[in-house]
Chains A and B, each alone.
Chain A
């Protein structure tokens, strides 16, 4: 793929940004059933999930992580964004078979709009997070200002996963089950409910190579512990996320052409 064809792809997607917005808005509307209560549930869900985990991990396991409830909640919210975006993207093309086999629009758009939807939901949950910050009388460090940059890098990573998943699931319908297994394992292997330190050292090194592990660690550092991540960390997550996006896009392009026939 040359630079000029890539630029053409980006332009054709950008010119259809109305479609990305509309898909995203509709996804949210259907999810929240056009109701205020629906929105309320989306806030309540992480709240309840956190309460349960909080009770378990403060009373049973006795985690010694500082600001543990906030540590838990932030990791959960960011991990939710990844699993939501990717699991929704598995169905974003197959679920639109009716329209995709009739009218052409860039096939990237369903996956992109899915990532946008998941990001909007993450922003709602981050509002819950800010309530918890107040409740626990936590004073956010100034490094918190770096969190949005980490979230943008996470978006790149998630898009790099969602694009290939959206078309692969058209050809191989069990990709969705395989992916569900991976995300379930990921939930327990990532630094969400505990820190990586509890694992044997070899496994720790291995896990730290996963971009999402490092993204979560860095988010915890800047949001809670007033630690500015090292330049190596920044370089690592930026380069690895962009690499995954490039590879993901190439896989997407390889399978995209036949989608109309395969559906």
Chain B
């Protein structure tokens, strides 16, 4: 089990920040005659290298805007790196911001199928799981209700219950373990941990430092787009605390709350 699941090799990613967003043909044509300083580049990740081994649970921590979500999206193949290489070994499924694929005008059942198929199941596979998913989400009674009538709690419970049916090699988790009430949270935590027991590689992005210490095998601290620390969770969390201490008191308090 020494093979690498994820390899980052000197990855740099920047975004164009338009002062005025140009997104019509007309504006493109006029901007040829009007070459002013139209955009600047914001470098979000700068020369990032690390590897995650197969079966590892790998924590990623850092302040807001440190580049954590960009990093996950590079792994998920939604962004392409400007420089460097991102290699993944096996199928990747993100559990980020759940329920984005839902269609409010369709029924719960149709939405489960839609979301499941987006996550990579065939229609048949997901159709067989519909009952289980409804039961897990505690939404059996609402199978034929249109989703636009759902409360936000029902919405995220449904999304989470569908998402955990996947069987990827690499799971990307971005702060999603706080859905629903206490009992549902316990259930989702158990489901999440079962991925670990089955030897899946998990990338875990969170602000909950305790859970990083308790759950992860290794961790990485992203700071200002670079790798500030990598290694045992305890060390990395300490490094993060040092980073936070380097800011003035009032900012630190604000950061802890967020």
Contacts and interface: CB of A to CB of B under 8 A. Distances in A.
Given A19-B117, A98-B101, A105-B118, A29 B106 contact: yes
Interface stretch (B24-32, B135-143, B192-200, B218-226): B24-32
Contacts of A30: 103, 105-106
Interface string B103-124: 1011100100110011111110
Contacts of A96: 101
A172 B24 contact: yes
A173 B23 contact: yes
Contacts of A174: 24-26
Contacts of A258: 80
B77 interface: yes
Contacts of B97: 102
B106 A26 contact: yes
Contacts of B123: 18, 21-22
B252 to A, nearest CB: 31
Given A98-B100, A102-B97, A102-B100, A26 B122 contact: no
A127 interface: no
A178 interface: yes
A197 interface: no
Q: How many B residues are at the interface, by size bracket? A: 20 to 34
A102 B26 contact: no
Interface in A60-104: 96, 98-104
Given A18-B117, A102-B100, A103-B119, A26 B110 contact: yes
Given A30-B105, A98-B100, A105-B118, A260 B94 contact: no
Interface in A102-124: 102-105
A22 B28 CA distance: 36
Given A22-B114, A29-B110, A103 B24 contact: no
Contacts of B79: 260-261
Interface string B83-94: 000000000111
Interface in B8-31: 15, 23-26, 28
A260 B103 contact: no
A257 interface: yes
Contacts of B25: 172, 174-175, 178
Nearest to A171: B23
B76 interface: yes
Contacts of B105: 30, 33
B216 interface: no
A99 B73 contact: no
A34 B118 CA distance: 21
A172 B119 CA distance: 29
Interface string A185-196: 000000000000
Q: Which 8 A-B pairs have the closest CB atoms?
A: A99-B101, A174-B24, A98-B100, A260-B78, A104-B77, A22-B117, A18-B122, A172-B25
Interface of A: 16, 18-19, 21-22, 26, 29-30, 33-34, 96, 98-105, 171-175, 178, 257-258, 260-262
23 contacts: A16-B120, A19-B118, A22-B113, A22-B114, A22-B117, A29-B106, A30-B103, A34-B107, A96-B101, A100-B78, A102-B76, A103-B76, A103-B93, A103-B118, A105-B118, A171-B23, A172-B23, A175-B25, A258-B80, A260-B73, A260-B78, A260-B79, A261-B79
